[in-house]
């Protein structure tokens, strides 16, 4: 993946995390389930504890101070990322017996983040479980005060029955689908901090999506040379002009595909493509499925 693509995805992830849609759902999920919820990136190091302590396990708070435990947590998160990126919503158990889960949020076929929750036991732990944990942490090197603090935090951590927990993850999967659609919209929405020439070019693009939109015409509208426009546009959006136009057209096409009376071929030409095959290729590359498959899935959801 190019550096520009990585930067584009990182920026999109941050905008999604700061969006009102995510914040409202995050608060609702935390209140309804009593579980923590974060939207994290794909780097396991980013999954370590941060300032968002709402509903977080007190035991995880204490373990975060132990380097050995922290490394084990990073390894667990790495395995969780790998499984979720391939298989979708996934759960695993850490060395302490806590359950963690990750639900991927995608833009098309690309994962741009994960909804992460967990830090709960699937059954109420006992003294034998805690003694085994102390052995793995190195009980002999641990002071009595530290052991007491860990014990208190360990038995304060919530237990959630597997069936109920699975229902919570189902809720997250549904929300991840909403976030994925929101991410696709955010990718083509102005942030308000771009150069005036690029903002002008965007307005021109959206007003002429059904036209051919050659580079020369868009650059002229922005008042820039083609080379200067290409550089400035890529810096502002993270996308080339062609990629940006295709994403805009695909977003338009999605709205039209929800109208059952319209044929796919009709929509392809309406949103600015010169052929059905070109439309199908662009749609599949950006969304991860063909227009026909995407439409069928949306109708089945309804």
**pLDDT tens-digit map of 241-256:** 999 999 989 989 988 9
- Give yes or no for a contact between 155 and 125, defined as CB atoms under 8 angstroms apart: yes
Chosen CATH of 196-301 out of 3.40.190.10, 1.10.3720.10, 3.30.530.20, 1.10.10.60: 1.10.10.60
Q: Report the C-alpha gap between 210 and 112 in whole angstroms.
A: 29
Q: Is 79 helix (H, G, I), strand (E, B) or coil?
A: helix
Name residues whose C-beta falls within 8 Å of residue 224's C-beta, 6 or more positions apart in sequence.
Answer: 197, 232
State how far the Cα of 13 lies from the Cα of 105, in Å rounded to an integer: 9
Q: What is the pTM of this model?
A: 0.67
What does the pLDDT look like over 226-244, one tens digit per residue?
Answer: 999 999 888 887 789 999 9
- How far is it between the farthest Cα atoms of the chain? 74
Q: Which CATH architecture has domain 3-186?
A: 2-Layer Sandwich (3.30)
Domain with CATH 3.30.450 in the chain: 3-186
Cα–Cα distance, 40 to 14 (Å, whole number): 9
CATH 1.10.10.60 domain residues, the chain: 196-301
Give the residue, 66 or 141, on which the prediction is more confident. 141
> Predicted confidence band at 192 (pLDDT cuts at 50, 70, 90)?
low
Q: How far apart are CA 160 and CA 99, in angstroms?
A: 10
Token pair for 85 = 């990126």
Contact 40, 47 (CB under 8 A): yes
């Amino acid at each position: 993946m190019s550096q520009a693509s990585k930067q584009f995805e990182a920026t999109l992830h941050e905008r999604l995390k700061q969006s009102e849609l995510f914040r409202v759902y995050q608060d609702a999920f935390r209140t309804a389930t009593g579980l923590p919820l974060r939207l994290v990136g794909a780097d396991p190091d980013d999954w370590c504890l941060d300032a968002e302590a709402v509903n977080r396990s007190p035991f995880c708070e204490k373990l975060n101070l132990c380097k050995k435990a922290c490394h084990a947590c990073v390894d667990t998160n790495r395995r969780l990322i790998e499984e979720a990126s391939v298989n979708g919503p996934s759960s695993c158990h850490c060395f302490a017996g806590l359950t963690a889960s990750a639900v991927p949020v995608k833009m098309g076929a690309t994962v741009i983040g994960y909804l992460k929750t967990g830090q709960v036991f699937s059954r109420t732990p006992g003294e034998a479980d805690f003694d085994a944990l102390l052995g793995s942490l190195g009980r002999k090197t641990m002071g009595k005060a530290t052991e007491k603090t860990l014990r208190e935090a360990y038995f304060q951590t919530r237990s959630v029955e597997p069936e109920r927990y699975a229902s919570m993850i189902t809720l997250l999967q549904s929300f991840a689908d909403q976030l994925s659609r929101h991410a696709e919209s955010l990718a083509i929405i102005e942030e308000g901090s771009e150069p005036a020439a690029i903002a002008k070019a965007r307005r021109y693009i959206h007003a002429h999506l059904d036209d051919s939109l050659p580079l020369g015409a868009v650059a002229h509208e922005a008042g820039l040379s083609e080379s200067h426009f290409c550089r400035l546009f890529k810096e502002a959006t993270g996308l080339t002009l062609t990629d940006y136009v295709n994403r805009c057209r695909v977003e338009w096409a999605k709205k039209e595909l929800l109208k059952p009376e319209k044929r796919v071929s009709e929509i392809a030409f309406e949103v600015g493509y010169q052929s059905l095959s070109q439309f199908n290729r662009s749609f599949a590359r950006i969304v991860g499925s063909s227009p026909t498959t995407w439409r069928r899935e949306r109708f089945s959801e309804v």
